[in-house]
Structure 1
Amino acid sequence: MSRKQRRLSLIVFVGIVLASATGLVLVALQDSIVFFNSPSDILARPPAPDQRLRLGGLVVEGSIERLPGEIVRFTVSDGANTRQVSYVGVLPDLFREGQGVITEGRLQPDGTFKADTVLAKHDETYMPREVAEALKRQGVWQGDKSKPLPVSPGKPGS
């Protein structure tokens, strides 16, 4: 085997090892990667059954419903569509209607999003980057104003 052939064989071998390592890392991370979606994204591209995802948007005015057993239902909107969210637990102190929120959980067969984590905005000027980008895509972004405008319910996503 000539020197050139050995070098080529070594390069091919290293390439195969790197591709295999990359594939193994991606397979290992597949269960822990959680993608962000707006209500419109979920309507356009429904997630796979039992897939974890993040749902973000603004909490619709008048949509918060507190039920016995720390069950809370509310609606998240991106201005064009909405998604009903169900959460069991104590909500963050800064959670309120008309504010940005990101929930993490799974979409149920009935179209309700069952959240196991709820993240609320931090202060008067903060909005999660993903939520702001989704609102800009929908054309409802109002800039960096300190007080959010009331959120219209939009079309139900389920």
Structure 2
Amino acid sequence: MTMPIGVRKSGWTRKQKRLAVIAGLALVLALATTLVLVALRDQIVFFHSPSDIMARDIAIGQPIRLGGLVKDASWVRDGQDNVFIVTDGANDVTARYVGLLPDLFREGQGVVAEGSMGSDGQFTATNVLAKHDENYLPKEVVDALKASGEWRPETAQ
């Protein structure tokens, strides 16, 4: 049996089917993007200052980055065991790192340490990044120092 001209088998035209497929793909993409952003919302920040860590409830063992200045006269080295204090001028966090520190690591200089907070309130670093030259501090460190009143523009940027 043949269909008369102008009568369709289904109620959808080709154009409507294409639009439905595109709308479905857009919905799936939006859902995937939302899930990724929700999963990464705490890791999107480049690092947390000591004041951020004190203000937020950071879970023990959660991987984070801690950034600030190495407090003067706080670095104690015993072989490859290093203990130092990271400060933003308002708050301090004691950090521990086992390994060789970068050549540019020193007191009074900017640092970003990757690791996690321990149950004792100390930060255990797995990686330490020192600033790359004597005129650079991460923008977030500068903002935190300015907010605390500890900013010394003659020694940085």
TM-score, normalization by structure 1: 0.77
1:75 aligns with 2:85: yes
| 1:100/1:127 contact within 8 Å kept | yes
Task: Tell me by how many angstroms 1:26 deviates.
Answer: 4.5
Give 1:66's aligned residue: 77
Q: Sequence identity, in percent?
A: 52
Whether 1:86 and 2:96 are equivalent positions in the alignment is yes
What is the number of residues matched between the two proteins?
A: 145
Q: Does 1:47 align with 2:47?
A: no
- Superposition misfits of 4+ residues, deviation over 4 angstroms: 2-8, 23-27
Q: Which ranges in structure 1 are unaligned for 5 or more consecutive residues? A: 149-158
Contact 2:90–2:148 (Cα < 8 Å) also in 1: yes
Report matched runs for 1:1-158 at 5 Å.
1=11, 6=17, 9-23=20-34, 25-26=36-37, 30=40, 33=43, 35=45, 36-68=47-79, 70-143=80-153, 145-146=154-155
Q: Which has the higher contact order (CA 8 A, sep 6+)?
A: 1
Q: Is the 8 A contact 2:109 2:131 kept in 1?
A: yes
**TM-align CA RMSD:** 2.9
TM-score, structure 2 as length reference: 0.77
Q: Secondary structure of the equivalent of 2:53?
A: helix
SS in 2 for 1:94: coil
Counterpart CA distance in 2 for 1:23 and 1:91 is 38
Q: Is the 8 A contact 1:73 1:86 kept in 2?
A: yes
Please say which structure displays the higher CA radius of gyration: 2
More strand by share: 1
